[in-house]
Amino acid sequence: MATLRVQPEAQAKVDVFREDLCTKTENLLGSYFPKKISELDAFLKEPALNEANLSNLKAPLDIPVPDPVKEKEKEERKKQQEKEDKDEKKKGEDEDKGPPCGPVNCNEKIVVLLQRLKPEIKDVIEQLNLVTTWLQLQIPRIEDGNNFGVAVQEKVFELMTALHTKLEGFHTQISKYFSERGDAVAKAAKQPHVGDYRQLVHELDEAEYRDIRLMVMEIRNAYVSREGQGWAGTAFPGHPLPDARQGVKGSRAHKARNGEHPLGACG
């Protein structure tokens, strides 16, 4: 099998990148993650995320309910007008007009919470991506005899990938809420006499409120499960993760149990 030859200058750049990555990961696990855990835990305890009566989340729907008699007369006039008016262009313009109630605003309470949540989603995805890259660099070569260590680290990497996918799904979940709420508001404006459409808007707001709290908890738990200096060695209790350059004996978990800094070999 041919050996890959790397130019010394290129190898030096790679080594600098590895060392910088290890330093950043050490700061994340030892300082940044604990700080985020504390911040998110405090966020979860705020009154804004602990509304006992979800009916308080209701946003006013400025959609008047029409008088049935007047509505019937209006419908008859509209039909008569359609018969008389043969101009397709004008009919198309009429169909594009918005509802007579005017614009309907978003639920401001939900929007405020989402404005705080979205930066947290972006941040946790970026930081965990950094840790995942660092973890990939710790996987030793199978021919070195660390087959078991490789299997364990690949399992951890698999779990990290699943978590990343889950966190990415939060953005889709938020977009879906606005799409579904917009459809519900449009239906309520088009058929204002149907109370179910109005109630659907409020139900979507309540469901999103619960989801926001759960998303904050998931982000906090993601930091908790990856925090701590002995993270790499405690991902699977009882199974130390081998260091990429020093084998099982020199693993970060091995160092942690012997009072050494688990990321000390990064430099």
How far is the C-alpha of 157 from the C-alpha of 244, rounded, in Å? 14
How far is the C-alpha of 27 from the C-alpha of 39, rounded, in Å? 17
- pLDDT tens for each residue of 11-30: 899 889 999 999 999 899 88
Look at the block and give the residue holding tokens 């130019």. Answer: 7
Look at the block and give the residue holding tokens 């009154």. Answer: 47
Helix (H, G, I), strand (E, B) or coil at 86: coil
Could you tell me if 197 and 188 are in contact, meaning their C-beta atoms sit under 8 angstroms apart?
yes
> Residue 195: is it exposed, middle or buried by C-beta count within 10 angstroms (0-12/13-18/19+)?
exposed
Could you tell me if 193 and 66 are in contact, meaning their C-beta atoms sit under 8 angstroms apart?
yes
Side-chain-side CA neighbours of 189 within 13 Å: the count stands at 17
pLDDT at residue 264 is higher than 70: no
How far is the C-alpha of 193 from the C-alpha of 68, rounded, in Å? 9
Full set of structural domains in the chain with CATH: 14-64+103-266 (1.20.120.180)
DSSP 22: H
pLDDT band at 66 (very low <50, low <70, confident <90, very high): confident
How far is the C-alpha of 6 from the C-alpha of 16, rounded, in Å? 15
Could you tell me if 117 and 209 are in contact, meaning their C-beta atoms sit under 8 angstroms apart?
no
How far is the C-alpha of 247 from the C-alpha of 267, rounded, in Å? 16
Q: What is the pLDDT of residue 228?
A: 44
pLDDT at residue 180 is higher than 50: yes
Work out the percent of the chain whose per-residue pLDDT is above 90.
44
34-38, 107-111, 136-140, range with the lowest pLDDT? 136-140
